Amino acid sequence: DNWKLIAGPDGGGIGSKFVEEPKFTTLAQLYDLGNDIAEQNNLYEQNPKLAAEMLSILEKLVKDGIHRVVNGL
């Protein structure tokens, strides 16, 4: 699986500009990079179970002091 989760309604990466209105209204963004490498289709609402699982893992990693996950860990 090639899923990518972004916690938050907008990207906010390096070089991004402040946006008054978030691009999405969901809690997070979820992309299937195997079918959407350009991250155009937020599948968060279509896959709530997967999104919840990934958010739970992210919350645990942050709680444990790991703030960035690269290549699966």
CB neighbour burial string for 43-58, b if at least 16 within 10 angstroms, e if fewer: bbeeeeebbeebbeeb
Instruction: Write down the pTM of the prediction.
Output: 0.69
Q: What is the pLDDT of residues 15-59, one digit of tens each?
A: 455 555 555 567 889 999 999 999 999 999 999 999 999 999 988
- Please state the rounded mean pLDDT for residues 60-73: 70
User: What SS3 state is found at 15?
Assistant: coil
How many other C-beta atoms can be found within 10 angstroms of the C-beta atom of residue 42?
19
